[in-house]
Each structure stands twice: as C-alpha cells, then as structure tokens.
Structure 1
Amino acid sequence: MDQEPRLPDSPHKLSGLHDLAANYDVILSDVWGVIHNGIHAFPKACDALQRFRHQGGKVILLTNAPRPGQVIITQLDGFGVPRDAYDGIVSSGDITISLIKERQALSLFKIGPRSDDVLYTEAERHIVTPLRFAPADQADYLVCTGLFDELRERPEDYDPLLRAPAAAGRELICANPDIVVRIGDELVACAGAIAERYQALGGKVLQAGKPFDAIYVRALSLAGRTPSQSSRVLAIGDAMHTDIEGAHRQGLDNVFITSGIHRSVLHHPERGDLDAAALRQFLQGSEAPPMAVMPELIW
C-alpha cells in the first residue's frame, strides 16, 4: 500500500473496493446499511472488508447505534458478520457513556426503548454511585437513544415532553444522530429526529456520533492514528447526513453506498439498479458530495 490516494473531483462509480484499496491503510466503515440491514449481514460487503484486512489494512466499524460497542459485536455475530471482517468498533453508545460518566453527579431523564437500557447499565459500571434519574422537567440533562415506541410514535409527539427542559436550558445528549434507519424495507425514526425537535424548541443538543468529531477521534485512535493522520484513511457509509458529511468534516476520502438508507430515492423501484439520473439530481447542489459511489459494498 504505497500509492497516494487519488479520487476524482466528482463522484465516480466504482466497480468494487479493489479499485482503490491499494491507496489506503485504514477503512472506517459504517455498519447498518453497509454490512447489514438490521436483519442479516451482506456477505459481499463482509467479504470486501475481509479482503482488505487480508492485504494488511485495518477496518474500524463506526456506528451510530446507541449501545456499547461490545453489545453491537454480539449483535453482528447474530446477523452473521464474521469477526475477521473488522479490527474494532466504536459506537455512538460508547461516546454517550463517556459523556454520562463526566456528568455522574447530575440527574438525567432518559428517552428511548428499554432495549437501550444496557447503555446506562454499562455507564454505571464506570462510576462510583448509581445514576440518578428524574422527570424530564426536573432532570439536569436528558439522554435520547431513540423513541420509546419506534413503531407507533412520531418525533413530533415528543414536543410536549421536551418544551420545559428546552426552555430551562437543559442539555440533551443525542446517542444516535441518525434521523432514520432502515430495518429491512422499513424506515424508522431515530434519536436524531428527537434532537432536531429539541433544537427547534430552543434546546441545546450534544451529539455523540457521526458526523461529529468525538467518534472519529476514538475510531482513528483504535487504528493507531490521530486526526492529523488521515491521508490514507477511507470512510464508507450509506447516509449523506452522517457518513459522508462526517467524512468531509474530518478531511477523509469517502465512498457512498447508494443502496442503504437512500435506496428508495436512488434505485429503480422494480429493477433495483442505481438510477444515474436520480443520483445526479440527489447530489445536485450538495456542499459535501461523495468522492466515489457504489451501489453496494463489494470487493
């Protein structure tokens, strides 16, 4: 791996990761939408990452999932993602736990399903006294991992709950900046949608995941890099708002996977192939366009 990274100024459709793998030592890959769909793994994507690693590269998975990284690894095992497809993982949940530890003397109100409570259990393992929970209008800060009931509720349903803490200047930690996620063929609202509502009400939001800095700093550290050592690091993701924007913020070369969260906009509804005209329209006027695109991650 001795070539300098070179990608075209406008997005180029790659035939596979092998087109540019020799230019990079590290891949920071998104998880949901790139290597699995919330139900099962994508074998071709896993194979591509395995091949990159077998050639001497490092792969760090970067996910906005609001749970500890170790929990995500167990979930990936269940989806069929082989462990030799990656070297490490950093989750938005990991960053959130660090933020909770910094605020251990304060009370918090949690927003999200019970399945995300492992986040607080893990945080308590690293502090002296148990976390203190309080009602939304009394808590010192809020943590949002998602909707309480993602199948029946909408982000705007939370406005009455959020008005008082927003007006009082309480901080909300968003443990998953994603606005929506695709589960199989369905799009489901995420914590990022609640954070948008909170900001619209005048509240202050602290984002724990992509596209913000902290998660990239930790991921690069796992790869043995610093933020200033990013010239041979490639970011791969399927969400423009988080993955591609985050890569641009960090000065990282990047590849956009079009069949993920934006599939319904970019792919033909019947044939399933990438619609070149739809892609051009989708990217028109974008301040942070991808450097290259692939319909799916393959070698």
Structure 2
Amino acid sequence: MTRIIEHFAEISDMYDAAFVDLWGCMHNGIAAFPDAVEACRAFRARGGKIVMLTNAPRPRATVAEQMARLGIPDDAWDTIATSGDSARLAMFTGAVGSKVYHIGEPKDDPFFEPLKMLDDPVEITRVPLEEAEGIVCTGPFDPHADPEVNRPAFLYAKTKGMKLLCANPDIVVDLGETRQWCAGALAQLYTEMGGESLYFGKPYPAIYDLARRRLAEVGFVQDDRIVCIGDGIGTDIKGAVGEGLDSVFITGGLAAQETMTKRHPEQVALTTYLEAHGMSAPYAMGFFR
C-alpha cells in the first residue's frame, strides 16, 4: 500500500537526488508553491541534488528564466532536464526530416534555436504542411481548442507517411484553475488515426537518460538513491515505474478530485486511482512540501 506522508523530509534521507516535476508540483503556471521551494532548499541543504525534470517543450535556459519569473530561486535546484531538449536532439539528428511543419505557439520558437550538443546538426526549415517531411508539435495552436480540430491536417499527414515529433507528452495541464491541452493530446490523436508519433518526454526513456547525464554533471548518484516527484500518473509515476525508480505521487495536482485530496489524499480513493491506472507509488502526499 502507498504510504501517505506529510513532508518530503520524512523520507528524504533515503535519497541523494530527486527528479522533480515543475508544473503541478513546483508551480501552477502562475506562481511558485512556497512549500515546494522550501522542500527543495532543505533537501539541497543536507547535500541532495535536485533535477527539475519537466515536459516543457523548450530549452532548459528558457525554462530557467520562467522558473525565476514564477518565484523558484536558483538555490532550490541544481540542474534542469526538459523534454524540449530531448526532442530537439532528435529533431536536429533528422528524426522527422529537415523540412518540418510546426504545430505550436510563438512562445515555443526557442525550440528551433541551434543545439550546441551536436557537431553536425541537420538544418531545420519550418514550412507549410504541404511542403513538409514531418511534423514537430510543441503544443496546440490554441490550448483551449479541442484536439479534433487537427484531424483534417493529420489525415493529410498520415497519407503522406509523416512522423510527428511530440515535444511534450502531457495530455493536459492546469494553468491556475484553467485546464489546457498539451502536445501529448495531439500526438495521441495522430496515433489513434494511424499516424506515427515520436515521444521524448516523461514517461519515455530518452528524457530520463538526459536527466541522468545532467545529474552526473553535478554529482553521480546511483538509481536506488534517486526519487521521482510529480503529479502526473501517466508521466511522472509511469516514468518512474518504467525506469525502476522510487516515486512520490503528488495527488493535489491533476488527480486532486479523483484522490479526494484536500491536505492529504484519501487512502481508499488513492488506492482505487492507482489501481485503475495500473500504477504503483511507494509514497504519496497532497502537495509537495
């Protein structure tokens, strides 16, 4: 049975590094959660390493700037691994061709900035769908629009054999009290239509490989001393299970209603929710603190 804890400090001595989700765990898209910031600071004060592991479809430098604006200070983390960087590495090695159709908002333009990790990157050009070799999806054009609006374009892309590179496997995210669609919802639709989607964020292996490399830059840690913290059952928790890592399920985010979370999740509701998704987590807490 999943153990419900009050504070991360109750178990943090068992770990030397934490892969911490951002949206829903550290902030709500509008402001940082002060208790979460203090939990990270306390863990680092005793020598622990914090890797902010996020499905943001942007380079880590851009994410660091966003974290600062939201109120997550530099002393609350050691390094960042983003699905954006993981996906960019694939794109610049030609995973979906050199001429790509971009689905996303202008704020995601940094995704296409040069990647210094590669010596000979593919030159990427954004073109209309009719001229494209593949699709790069960093998110919907309109995060409030039903993903079904993309069906006509996806039907055309599928008949042309295009692959869709998904830079953020999240299906939805909550901006304050408002739920928005993410790139994962579009990739899911494309796959259901018979197209091929390529994923590079949680819960898929590539982003965990990147996280471990980033962690090694600030201090090597064995897997049995790493814990994953996040609110996404299909991303954070599924990814942890797939990687053989321990996890703390933050139930007050996307699953707040299903787990009947106020300050804490209700034990029976939590167990029912985990079983319904075929997942397990050693620990759970209402909010990261």
Indicate yes or no: 2:270 matched with 1:274.
Answer: no
Following superposition, the deviation at residue 124 of structure 1 comes to 9.4
CA distance in 2, matches of 1:228, 1:18: 19
Would you say 1:249 and 2:242 are equivalent positions?
yes
Pair 199,227 (structure 1): closer, same or farther in 2 beyond 3 Å:
farther
Corresponding residue for residue 258 of structure 1: 251
Question: Which residue in 2 is equivalent to 1:145?
Answer: 138
Determine the structure 1 residue equivalent to 2:22: 31
Name 1:219's counterpart in structure 2: 211
**Distance in 2 (alpha carbons) for counterparts of 1:50 and 1:243:** 21
Indicate the residue corresponding to 2:284 in structure 1. Answer: 293
Letter aligned with residue 132 of structure 1:
T
Percent of pairs identical after alignment? 35
Give 5+ residue unaligned stretches, structure 2. Answer: none
Unaligned stretches of 5+ residues in structure 1: 1-9
Amino acid across the alignment from 2:210 = R
- Is contact 2:93–2:122 with CA below 8 Å preserved after alignment? no
Displacement of 1:94 after TM fit? 0.7
Match of 1:287, SS state, is coil
Map 1:199-214; keep pairs closer than 5 Å.
199-214=191-206
CA distance in 2, matches of 1:52, 1:227: 16
**Match of 1:3?**
none
Q: 1:70 to 1:206 in 2, by over 3 A?
A: same
Aligned match for 1:232, one of 225, 242, 251: 225
> What is the SS of the residue equivalent to 2:30?
coil
Structure 1 counterpart SS, 2:25? coil
* 1:192 maps to 2:184: yes
- Which deviations, in whole Å up to 9, do the C-alpha atoms of 1:5-24 show, x marking residues without a partner? xxxxx211012111111111
**1:293 to partner: Cα distance:** 0.2
Q: How far apart in 1 are the matches of 2:105 and 2:34?
A: 30
Residues 267-291 of structure 1, C-alpha deviation per residue, up to 9 Å, x if partnerless?
36xx665333322321234422211
* RMSD value, Cα: 2.3
Matches of 1:147 and 1:51, distance apart in 2: 37
Larger CA deviation: 237-246 vs 167-176: 167-176
Which residue of the partner structure matches residue 14 of structure 1?
Answer: 5
Matched position secondary structure for 1:117 = helix
Amino acid in the other structure paired with 2:79: G
In structure 1, the partner of 2:100 is 108
Counterpart code for 2:58: R
TM-score norm. by structure 2 comes to: 0.92
Q: In the alignment, does 2:167 pair up with 1:164?
A: no
- 1:44-84 CA-to-partner distances (Å, cap 9, x unmatched) read 01101111111011110000011111101100100100111
What's 1:98 paired with?
89
| Residues in 2 aligned to 1:44 and 1:272: alpha-carbon distance in whole angstroms | 13
Who is 1:71 aligned against? 62
The aligned residue for residue 58 of structure 1 is 49
Q: Deviations over 1:209-259 (max 9, x none)?
A: 000011101111121299993111100010000000000000000000001
TM-score by length of 1: 0.89
Q: What's the CA shift string for 1:76-98, capped at 9, x where partnerless? A: 10010011111000111111211
- Mapped partners of 2:101, 2:91: distance in 1: 12
Q: CA deviation at 1:164?
A: 1.5
